[in-house]
């Protein structure tokens, strides 16, 4: 009896470990469509920003405008409520706006009603700032399992992930930039988090990426535009 109990505990541990691994996969989910990069030979890439909006929008927009770049911003609903004017600036500048949930909580082991409210409430806020385009979705922390993909699939939404995330691996500006330059390829989706940066380091990373990759002949497009290639 004791041996069977030990085996059962081990099997349960392995099951939960496997489930945890699935929740954070960038290239796979159980239901519905998922994009983490595009298959194309054209030198086109997407620059995506998570979280916010915050006052840092005022630093980021002139930089993107200088390089004539349109990016994709995955915004948090409660931050749109706090900073509606900054959110409207993104729309007025012609950038793509995506849904990053209302509260930025991990969307794993959540009830169907919680998932629905987090997404639909944020969609309403995105519409309230004047955005009329397609609203893509990116899960907080990239976490997803069954309930979230099921709801997204049921409501004809696609999950947008990423292929390059320099902030996960490096802390210095130079290392983050080098990582992107060394791993970039046509169809890449880059993830950065400039909204809560108080040091200016992420803005420096953005500027260096724009400068270097533009000089290499890459064109920056929105996620929706990248998917059409």
Is 50 labeled as catalytic in the residue annotation? yes
What contacts 80, CB < 8 A, 6 or more positions away? Answer: 53, 87, 122, 125, 126, 128, 129
Look at the block and give the residue holding tokens 């969307």: 107
**Structure token digits, residue 31:** 């239901």
83 tagged catalytic: no
From 95, 178, 193, 197, the catalytic residue: 193
Instruction: Report which DSSP code applies to 164.
Output: B
* DSSP single-letter state for residue 141: G
Characterise 77 by phi-psi region: left (phi > 0), alpha (psi -120 to 50), beta (else).
alpha
Question: What does the alpha-carbon distance between residue 116 and residue 207 come to, in Å, rounded to a whole number?
Answer: 36
Peptide bond between residue 53 and the one before it cis (omega within 30 degrees of 0): yes
Q: In sequence order, what are the beta bridge partners of 98? A: 74
Task: Please state, in angstroms and rounded to a whole number, the distance separating the CA atoms of residues 161 and 95.
Answer: 18
| Residue of 42, 50, 58, 83 marked catalytic | 50
CA–CA distance, 8 with 29 (Å, rounded to integer): 27
Q: Which residues contact 51 (CB under 8 A, 6 or more apart)?
A: 74, 75, 76, 79, 100, 104, 193, 195, 196
User: Which residues are catalytic, by number?
Assistant: 50, 193
């Amino acid at each position: 009896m004791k041996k069977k109990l030990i085996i059962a505990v081990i099997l349960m541990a392995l099951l939960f470990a496997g489930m945890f691994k699935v929740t954070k996969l960038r290239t796979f989910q159980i239901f519905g469509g998922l994009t983490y990069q595009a298959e194309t030979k054209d030198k086109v890439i997407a620059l995506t920003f998570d979280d916010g909006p915050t006052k840092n929008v005022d630093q980021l927009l002139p930089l993107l405008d200088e390089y004539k770049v349109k990016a994709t911003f995955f915004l948090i609903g409660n931050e749109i409520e706090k900073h509606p004017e900054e959110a409207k600036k993104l729309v007025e500048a012609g950038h793509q706006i995506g849904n990053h949930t209302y509260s930025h909580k991990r969307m794993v082991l959540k009830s169907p009603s919680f998932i629905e409210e987090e997404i639909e409430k944020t969609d309403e806020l995105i519409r309230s700032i004047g955005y009329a385009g397609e609203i893509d979705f990116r899960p907080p922390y990239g976490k997803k399992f069954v309930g979230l993909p099921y709801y997204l699939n049921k409501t004809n939404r696609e999950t947008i992930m990423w292929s390059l995330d320099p902030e996960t691996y490096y802390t210095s500006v130079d290392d983050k930039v080098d990582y992107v330059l060394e791993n970039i390829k046509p169809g890449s989706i880059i993830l950065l988090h400039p909204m809560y940066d108080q040091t200016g380091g992420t803005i420096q990373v953005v500027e260096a990426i724009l400068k270097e990759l533009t000089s290499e002949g890459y064109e920056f497009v929105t996620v929706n535009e990248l998917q059409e290639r």
